[in-house]
Amino acid sequence: MVNNVDVVNVGQKLSLFNDLWSPKIITELNDNYVKLAKIQGEFIWHKHDDDDELFFVISGDLNIELRDKVLELQPGELVVIPKGVEHRPVAKTEVSIMLIETKATINTGDATDTQDIKPTIGSWI
């Protein structure tokens, strides 16, 4: 018997929050969370030593800076940042993204100086 199978409307979930750099968990898949986030400005340089991280752009244009190049993503595009790769998301205007990460992944990774950015796994919406 299948329990707790529901359709998730991504647009509706995005309408429930406006805070930036604060991922929201919308469902889970095996040992991963599927998250939504709204971002604008520059995040901090960080890496995830044990986990890959998938970024899928829903709206807006997202740059992901790596130490040797900049990845430019537009709506409908995604990238997987392999574990151990230092990166920094940058959004000149507000961008909506979907993330797929292991349940233990903290958004600030290995960064210890997070300035005003609160380390989080995310909260359910």
Domains and CATH numbers, the chain: 17-124 (2.60.120.10)
- Report how far residue 87's alpha carbon sits from residue 22's, in angstroms, rounded to the nearest whole number: 17
Q: Residue 105: what pLDDT?
A: 82
**Strand (E) or helix (H) holding 12:** helix 10-14
User: Over 50: is that where the pLDDT of 82 sits?
Assistant: yes
Q: Would you say residue 112 has pLDDT above 70?
A: no
Q: Tell me the pTM.
A: 0.88
Residues in the chain: 125
pLDDT of residue 117: 62
Predicted confidence (pLDDT) at residue 4 exceeds the cutoff of 90: no
